[in-house]
Chain A
Amino acid sequence: MNLMILIGLVLVGIVHALRGASYLVLSRSGATTKLRPILPLCGVFLCIAGLIDGWSAGLPVPVGYAGGEGGLALGPIGCLFSLMLFAIAAWSDADEPADPTAGWRDLRVSAILLSLIAGDAFLLGCGACLAALLPTRLLGRRAARNGVLAAFAIVGASVLLCAPAAPFGSLLADPGFALLREAGGSAGPLLPLLVVGAAAPLLGLWPTQGGFRHRCAFAPPWVALSGALLGQFLLLRFLLDLAGPVPSAWWGGALVALGLFGALRAGVSALDDRRAAGVVGRVLALENNLFVVAVGFCLLARANDLPVLSGTAFDAAMLLSPAVLLGGLAALGLVRAMEREAGSGLLSRLGGLIRSMPFACALLAVPFLLLAPLPPGDDFSALWLLVQVVLAAPLPAPGGVAVVALGVLALLFAAAALAAASLLRFGWIAVLGRPRTPRGAAATDLAPIAARRYAPVLFVPAFAALLPGGWLFMASGRAGSDVLLGGEGPRHPLVALLAPVGNGMLAPLPIALLLALGVALAALLARSLNLRAERTAPVWEGGAAPPPPWLPFGDPATQIAPATLGLALRQALDLPAWHPSGRLSSWLGASQARRWSAWSRQGAVWLARVLERRAPLVAMLLFGFGLVLAASGFFDMRAPR
């Protein structure tokens, strides 16, 4: 059965690739268009069959690297991510034939599928490199640079993994996962650096958040979300699966620090972003950074031999994943549809869309509730699990570690609050209030049939939100057996999440039912109070004159603008500007501040120029340096066999 599923997935991948090539080379043909709705659905059904059927110990098929144990293998984690990949592909397919990027999308789906069902590092690296490089054609030089850097980092990480398993000169002798798992844990600090380097542009980690936001704002939604899927998979596969059972605790600590910093930065930027899709992109970057934090916790717990905590952190990552990938896809798709209808992506041009697009706005509330860490969404559950991991960690006597744990806890809460505030601001400006342009006022709503397109995408995160135990049984119970290498989290019941230590419990479905009961009672109360007929009146403008004829949608000064929240916050904090030069001059004096400011500006310009013009060269130099270090055994810290 497993062999059949794997062969089916390979066939789907091949047909996808052929279809993509036919789009690009031979232009569209009727034959390929007919296959359009069937292909991703076939993939979805195969993945569901794989998840339900289960497996005993993977299924290596020697169709890849000759002579080794590698090739293609149907693993639980690959199957789970393939399911989400095909869901993204199925959603994006609905854009055809208007979507001119369909060929690139099909090719990328095939490449990502290859890395998901790879059984050795060679195929994994090939698939991931292709997937990282393919959409760069759509996005210009900046994305091309990020794609090239990510591809080099993936190759470097793959080679580093293989290096300890084979002597220098025959690096790819046997890159099968079985051997790599056995020989893992010896790649030193360069491996996580390279993996993070590969995943950073895909996930929007610092310092590449701008690129991720750019993809969300300007590229088709599948580009950013399929990239994020690949980035999440690479982190899990490289760092949790192939890097060996006992990684260094520093890897985990560094990932947690990077993720928290990136999450806060993304949250603060989202509060001030001027584009609608940019806000969503920043929030998705924030969630991706929380995913990195969860992986970091997993590594930290595993390094300290705490399998239950490691499993709980993995559960949190598995709850974040569908919310970000599928909920984010729906959110981004709806926001882009609103932008198209309103004729602009700038928040200052949007407004009052709930009047012209009520169905789209109501639909948008679902992914926003999933993305904002509000109960009973997946993100809230994931955050709850992360908090439980910190609380259950065995900390030494009072001191630095406890203070660091306290800081981590506070930063997690702060990141969640920033995500919620960013989505609140989006709702104020784009959805509520009065229309700001005639085109926005005359926007056409989505047809209710469009719900057919969004419902399947939102089903998985909604299922994971309400029945987290059921989702984690598939995701962590099965995929965790692939990735956690013996570690296991608490066995959650179907409708609840359990804390790793103590009696703590979070039950989203009962909370949702309680909320539904509360809404019903409150609605009944409101109805019983509304005994008299309602009267409508013009909006009270504080005595000001009604809007003049040349401002039919109201005076912009009387509406909330995109910059209003940022300005109010700066005013409250008494900050003259975001740029710190004002503070700098008060500390150093005006002339010194000007000099330091000029130096730093020149340095930044030089660095940007070097990176822009010499990116492949820098990447190759880094890659070669890492290769030499790895092959020389510099980072080989395992005991000799």
Chain B
Amino acid sequence: MNQLGLLALGSAALVLHVGLLLLATPLMAIGAEGFPALRSPAAWRGWLAQPFLRLATLASREPVRSEGASPVPRLAPILSLACTGCAALLVPSFLRVMLDWPLADLALVLALLGTSRGCWLFAAADGGSAATGLAAIGATVDALLALPGLVLSASVLLMLSGGAGLDAMLAGQRGLAAPGALACVAGLGLGALASGGREAALSQALSGPDLALFRLETGLRRVVWIDLLGALAWPGSVAAAPSGPLFWLSALLCWLLRFGMALALFALLSGPLGDPGLRRRLAAFSLFAALLGPILLLAGQSAE
């Protein structure tokens, strides 16, 4: 395929990817809060439309801000959404030929997600009240506790693929299908769950459009994690450039399956994740999985 064809293909893939993100983000932001009794098609339609309507309602409310607040709470939603949006553009949903694909890098994606989270922590701390400030402190402690599991899992995955680029990690598929690698992907996911959470406490000082942006960013961050973990755990589910339309369709179905499962998981976990004890146990499990990964890999290679 010539350069022009690749450019057109990359642009089309990027547009499709952005479209999927726009659809998935409100669902993950609001829809994951719980499944209602979905006994009829009308209930399903209502559940699917509900996130968009609730976000629109939220955005149309009057914004209330603290007296004497600095510009940080106004800037934080914008910066945070921008960072998460960039990360979302780099992580493929079902196609690996996006225009910005050469920039995709695991370390970069993790750093962008961390920066985005940092923006919300700044906004929470600027309120000056005990509740939001302590929520920011608690979120940082959660992140620091999840740090060993996260960095170890990411390191093992990088060592296995031999590069930080997502292209190398997905295209090569060197060893990523092994149980050890899957354990590390699980460690990464558990670490992400353990370092997230506290959304309700962090968003206490937000209202109206700010809260809508917060919800959007939260949903987008979850979608990024789902895409990233899904692609790492099952690289074959993401279509490569020369694949035919049938493979594109099957990759899209795979993405829908992944997304549906993750949505159900978040709906189940949205309540328990508010418990700090569970988050700390998840951090411990993340470290355990990250340690298990190399052990399984070494055992497998020794057996060979």
Contacts and interface: CB of A to CB of B under 8 A. Distances in A.
B137 A530 contact: no
B79 interface: yes
A526 B209 contact: yes
B164 A388 contact: yes
Contacts of B159: 391, 402, 405-406, 409
Interface string B81-101: 111011001000000000010
A518 interface: yes
Contacts of A30: none
Contact of B137 (A352, A388, A505, A564): A564
A156 interface: no
A560 B125 CA distance: 8
Interface stretch (A10-18, A252-260, A534-542): A534-542
A432 interface: yes
A374 B111 CA distance: 6
- The B interface, classified by DSSP as helix, strand, loop or mixed, is helix
Interface stretch (A58-66, A298-306, A414-422): A414-422
A519 interface: yes
B155 interface: yes
B191 to A, nearest CB: 12
A532 B141 contact: no
B63 A432 contact: no
Interface string A494-532: 000001011111110011001100110111011001111
A214 interface: no
A119 interface: no
A282 interface: no
B59 to A, nearest CB: 4
A373 B108 CA distance: 10
A554 B79 CA distance: 29
A551 to B, nearest CB: 13
B145 A504 contact: no
A518 B302 contact: no
Contacts of B134: 560, 564
Contacts of B121: 424, 428
Contacts of A531: 60
Interface stretch (B64-72, B228-236, B255-263): B64-72
A110 B65 CA distance: 54
A511 B164 contact: no
Interface stretch (A222-230, A465-473, A565-573): A565-573
B37 to A, nearest CB: 32
Contacts of B131: 540, 542
Given A406-B156, A519-B79, A539 B128 contact: yes
Contacts of B274: none
A507 B103 contact: yes
A200 to B, nearest CB: 27
Nearest to B118: A424
A434 B111 contact: no
A519 B78 contact: yes
A27 interface: no
A597 to B, nearest CB: 28
Q: How large is the interface on A (under 10, 10 to 19, 20 to 34, 35 or more residues)?
A: 35 or more
B53 interface: no
Contact of B122 (A427, A502, A521, A534): A427
Contact of B164 (A387, A433, A519): A387
Interface in B154-179: 154-156, 158-159, 162-165, 167-168
Nearest to B156: A406
A66 to B, nearest CB: 53
Interface in A459-509: 499, 501-507
B297 A417 contact: no
Interface in B195-221: 204-205, 208-209, 212-213
Interface of B: 59-72, 77-79, 81-83, 85-86, 89, 100, 102-103, 105, 107-108, 111-112, 114-115, 118, 121-122, 125-131, 133-134, 136-138, 140-141, 143-145, 147-148, 151-152, 154-156, 158-159, 162-165, 167-168, 204-205, 208-209, 212-213, 280, 294, 297-298, 301-302
14 contacts: A402-B159, A410-B148, A421-B144, A501-B162, A506-B108, A507-B102, A525-B81, A526-B213, A554-B128, A560-B125, A564-B133, A564-B134, A572-B141, A572-B280
Given A522-B85, A523-B78, A532-B208, 12 more contacts: A355-B68, A417-B144, A428-B136, A502-B163, A522-B213, A526-B77, A526-B213, A536-B67, A537-B64, A537-B66, A538-B67, A564-B133
4 cross-chain pairs, A with B, having the tightest CB-CB distances, nearest first: A518-B82, A529-B209, A413-B151, A409-B155
Interface of A: 352, 354-355, 358, 373-375, 380, 383-384, 387-388, 391-392, 397-398, 402-403, 405-406, 409-410, 413-414, 417, 420-421, 424-425, 427-428, 432-434, 499, 501-507, 510-511, 514-515, 518-519, 521-523, 525-526, 529-542, 554, 557-560, 564-565, 568-569, 572-573
